[in-house]
Structure 1
């Protein structure tokens, strides 16, 4: 039996297992609906699916909650309202806290040969406006949105292509659709579980009115003129806003929905009365009635949180805020939890292997040089000075929470050994030094490295000062150059960027079922090899083809993963990829598992220890924010 089908059956068993379990739970009305503005709704048995996802909270170590209450949180800019669709984390399939991929919005998924995916919807599932959620919403996305050249000029996105070919899409019945590729497509399901997923369904009943194929042309023209859209496609794309939460009229499947656009400084998100998840006591989730997101100056969010203005806050807080936050706990009645951040490293130094300067290019591609720089960093000192010893010193790689982790990946070439570093630099031939001990490059220039930083993190700047101290012992001079993200990326594309400091791999907790996209030169945004990433992204129309054997092998392995048909094959591919990174020290990671402060005030079911990250994780989403509840509610 396919591994995903097994996981689907396990998830359904944990959730209550199908129709029999659904009948065994008496679904209860939510008592607070009328007071938050939902009057005249159908009874709850008509609002939830015939087979809702039933969550047994006690089996997860959580308490059954009560309905009601308002959760306040702070955001640094108006567009961060989209985080409600991240934290809510209602996905067709989603990750559990154990990083297993299981059905969520879907009732189940069957997979044949890694290339044929049959998606089974929940009968009776409805959008937040009460309209049925059916196979038509999938058909509309595939045929009328992503396959329409006016709406999607770039064509089908990569996750809908396998072996360079699109799938055959079929509607089997009202609650069943199928995607069949000729080749395996292991990218498909993980893409659906992202913090910012592709949403391969759309509320067709709403959007058809704005589509040239279905809507009234005159009405569409008037609507386009009203919002200064250039035509029907521009209007449709503006209203088709599943992620950003900018269109309050767009129906949703998320636990909280935005129903008005009366403010751009304070956003009130209300519970979705048609949400598909129910606890084992028959209460429809989410427990919390309202989430209020208030815009504040990002520099003031830590102080406002300390003053008790947030009930749940991690956004715009950092490790450096922990001391201040701890001081306010007793007075304002909150707790400061410390969750490990799931990046491969909190800080990573990135030599640009595609820099256009031939001397630096040759030097950076010599593994002895990268090893010497890594051995010349006292990571334990950085951990003590900047993180009170609470982080993990080591390479930029997968974390111990990942099933792919091996100690060697974190420790290889990561000890502090200046004698060995000096010997490696001498072996390369960098033996000439100027009067102050700084080595000379082969062309006579001093070995002075400019490390560019986006200037957004004081910890990065402080870490670079500490690195500069120990690199000087091996004859290397480091200069930190503050810049801006866009400027750094432009300089990387042009080949002028020599070295940068940046957060490490976004996903430090992968499983073999997650694509190794960050670990191969697949994107121009990866600052250690931007020209190779550009070449991949543009299909060879710009950038440079990889001409360095380790990078060539990483791309071969990445393509092999995309064509893989079994978990065993994907595990083997991941192991080789991670071993190459450990052997080559492509990123010079400093510390990982730095703690993210998560302030909790009167919110129940928030885990004491959680994983904080974007993909996988969706920040609070992995921990199912719809299961959180307010301690003062229901009284």
Structure 2
């Protein structure tokens, strides 16, 4: 009996002892930025890219030597994986750069389970890939322009000898002096080399040779860099998921706004010292049609809307301010005139619209005069653009809002007179103009199957019909049209281009002969312009160079290989949950500088 009493007493005592609570180890929900691209990506091999959407992805995966400050306006260049700004010779022909030790590539099967440190040799290899003729890189023209000693000759050896490009051959212009020291030497002075090829993680980030050799021609599907994100999921032309790189080094928010920039200074104060990236994931859908893309943001399915479609601008930001119903939900609006240009590209090798004969130049100039850009701005773009007058874009050297040229004229009467003068008349009485030799004149314009392109096509057809020129359209997805343009297999194509640096030289590369097949989609070749371009590349900024930029603009108007239409007013929107966004100007990487406030997302 005594034993039973004791056991009952012990049991009651044990029940009375409080149970110690286990700590809550449930991880916080992943912070994901969700948004949509309006155009499909083409791949993620930097040597193969010219489209902005693929480059937006690679900018988060790879890292260049230098970067642009996220907040500073005017823009400021800072080291990224470099330890400091380059040591430059006085003649701007030698650049020595130290790389920070202890930076590692994201883990990948190509490294066979070992941590792989970034070295100077990785940049040597990555830059040489642009020169390899087997890769047919659209970025080669920029490397060729940089004029690194021995690089063009190395490329030529592969072309002439029809042998594989020799990646192991050392050249004077591109060398690793030791594990962490990189040196560039140029044939001619290159005072802006840092802007041209040393800044821009989307194209000029380091790629490890082992990765290329492991994946071969599939390397564009397996991007591996040292950047803050890594590719987690990819369904081509449908869905792209980036995940935070768990191997990313300890790096902190250090963006610095300019004095007097209240918005920038507030972001600087809020985020200074935070470890980046602050996001765990970036989820990108490809939604080409404007209405579903707009509704996905309006319904809170997407956190960020890059470039509000013109069709919905009056609902989104009437008179440049966030609509009251959206402002009440905390939606934010961001609006700038972009450093870009929308243009019509004429294939200068095409037998109808190409060529340098006076009659061919007259045809292109007449087409330019017939295009009603003010109507395009008001109706198709809903007022979200300004008239372009030259290839040079806002926020870059050589741009002036006061500059005017024939490029910006809309004058159908003058277009008709020009066509009559050069023999483009209706020879067979069918109501349409013919070529000077009497054969039919038919323009074929490449286009895309989206609503904005359809509206631009309708305006184009109406404008050209008004001066008696017959037009047809050839519809394909944007990546297919880009491939056709790069190969010279088109007549006319409408495309937009954004500046990648604050200097105007990159925009003028579209007219530079050696850039044919790359940035020079028009395949324009004029010795006078090429000489001018080379001269500008070697000059320091100043009044003499500004005079050459003006001459370049005038040559573009005279020969009209491109018809510049507009510089777009770029309007982005973000839900209340998105914190720290500022639209980049000349660079694509910004995800690492923004955060998601989950408490505000819950109320979306």
Residue by residue over 1:71-124, the C-alpha shift from the partner in whole angstroms, topping out at 9 and shown as x without a partner, is 333468796797444257853112345345443332221211222111123466
Counterpart of 2:461 (choices 456, 468, 478) is: 468
Residue by residue over 1:343-393, the C-alpha shift from the partner in whole angstroms, topping out at 9 and shown as x without a partner, is 222xx3333322135x97476764433333222222212211112223113
**Which residue in 2 is equivalent to 1:178?**
183
Counterpart of 2:311 (choices 313, 320, 330) is: 320
**Which residue in 1 is equivalent to 2:510?**
518
CA distance in 2, matches of 1:468, 1:524: 28
Counterpart of 1:503 (choices 495, 507, 519) is: 495
**2:452 pairs with 1:459:** yes
Counterpart of 2:341 (choices 330, 344, 360) is: 344
**Which residue in 2 is equivalent to 1:291?**
281
Q: What TM-score, normalized by structure 1, do the two folds share? A: 0.65
**Which residue in 1 is equivalent to 2:257?**
none
Counterpart of 2:81 (choices 105, 109, 124) is: 105
**2:326 pairs with 1:329:** yes
Residue by residue over 1:423-452, the C-alpha shift from the partner in whole angstroms, topping out at 9 and shown as x without a partner, is 323332445566575434322235x43232
SS in 2 for 1:503: strand
Question: What does residue range 138-537 of structure 1 map to in structure 2 within 5 Å?
Answer: 138-142=120-124, 146=128, 158=144, 161-162=148-149, 164-165=152-153, 166-168=171-173, 171=176, 175-185=180-190, 188-189=193-194, 190-194=196-200, 196-200=202-206, 202=208, 207=210, 234-235=213-214, 237=216, 246=222, 250=224, 252-257=225-230, 267=241, 269-270=243-244, 274-279=249-254, 283-286=273-276, 288-295=278-285, 298-299=288-289, 300-314=292-306, 318-322=309-313, 329=326, 333-345=330-342, 348-356=343-351, 361=355, 366-395=360-389, 397-407=391-401, 411-430=405-424, 435=429, 438-446=432-440, 448-483=441-476, 497-498=490-491, 500-507=492-499, 510-512=502-504, 514=506, 516-521=508-513, 522-524=515-517, 529-530=522-523
CA distance in 2, matches of 1:36, 1:263: 28
Residue by residue over 1:466-488, the C-alpha shift from the partner in whole angstroms, topping out at 9 and shown as x without a partner, is 23334344333333343456776
CA distance in 2, matches of 1:485, 1:282: 40
**Which residue in 2 is equivalent to 1:73?**
35
CA distance in 1, matches of 2:253, 2:385: 38
**Which residue in 2 is equivalent to 1:535?**
none
**Which residue in 1 is equivalent to 2:581?**
606
* Distance apart, 1:405 and its partner CA: 0.9
Residue by residue over 1:133-157, the C-alpha shift from the partner in whole angstroms, topping out at 9 and shown as x without a partner, is 56xx112553799599999888996
Q: How many residues align?
A: 503
CA distance in 2, matches of 1:416, 1:127: 53
Q: Comparing 280-289 with 382-391, which one deviates more in the overlay?
A: 280-289
Residues 409, 585 of structure 1: alpha-carbon distance in 2 compared, 3 angstrom cutoff: farther
CA distance in 2, matches of 1:262, 1:354: 37
**Which residue in 1 is equivalent to 2:594?**
628
Residue by residue over 1:153-195, the C-alpha shift from the partner in whole angstroms, topping out at 9 and shown as x without a partner, is 8899645734745435555566433233454456853223235
CA distance in 2, matches of 1:330, 1:293: 24
* Distance apart, 1:254 and its partner CA: 1.8
Tell me, which stretches of 5 or more residues in structure 2 are unaligned? 1-24, 44-52, 108-113, 154-170, 255-268, 318-322
Contact kept in structure 2, 1:108 and 1:121, CA below 8 Å: no
**2:91 pairs with 1:117:** no
SS in 2 for 1:193: coil
Counterpart of 1:584 (choices 559, 580, 589) is: 559
Contact kept in structure 1, 2:310 and 2:380, CA below 8 Å: no
CA distance in 2, matches of 1:102, 1:277: 14
Question: What does residue range 558-597 of structure 1 map to in structure 2 within 5 Å?
Answer: 558-561=533-536, 564=538, 566-568=540-542, 571=546, 573-597=548-572
Residue by residue over 1:206-255, the C-alpha shift from the partner in whole angstroms, topping out at 9 and shown as x without a partner, is x4xx8xxxxxxxxxxxxxxxxxxxxxx7426479x6xx6836xx5x4323
* Distance apart, 1:407 and its partner CA: 4.5
CA distance in 2, matches of 1:237, 1:342: 35
SS in 2 for 1:606: coil
Contact kept in structure 2, 1:88 and 1:625, CA below 8 Å: no
Residues 147, 372 of structure 1: alpha-carbon distance in 2 compared, 3 angstrom cutoff: closer
SS in 1 for 2:366: helix
Residues 139, 572 of structure 1: alpha-carbon distance in 2 compared, 3 angstrom cutoff: farther
Contact kept in structure 2, 1:82 and 1:245, CA below 8 Å: no
Q: What TM-score, normalized by structure 2, do the two folds share? A: 0.68
Task: Return the index of the structure with the highest Cα Rg.
Answer: 2
Residues 467, 396 of structure 1: alpha-carbon distance in 2 compared, 3 angstrom cutoff: farther
Contact kept in structure 2, 1:169 and 1:179, CA below 8 Å: yes
* Distance apart, 1:290 and its partner CA: 1.0
CA distance in 1, matches of 2:547, 2:420: 36
Residues 99, 369 of structure 1: alpha-carbon distance in 2 compared, 3 angstrom cutoff: farther
CA distance in 2, matches of 1:262, 1:421: 48
Cα-Cα RMSD: 4.7
Contact kept in structure 1, 2:363 and 2:419, CA below 8 Å: yes
Residues 329, 464 of structure 1: alpha-carbon distance in 2 compared, 3 angstrom cutoff: same
* Distance apart, 1:503 and its partner CA: 1.3
SS in 1 for 2:564: strand
SS in 2 for 1:196: helix
CA distance in 1, matches of 2:197, 2:463: 42
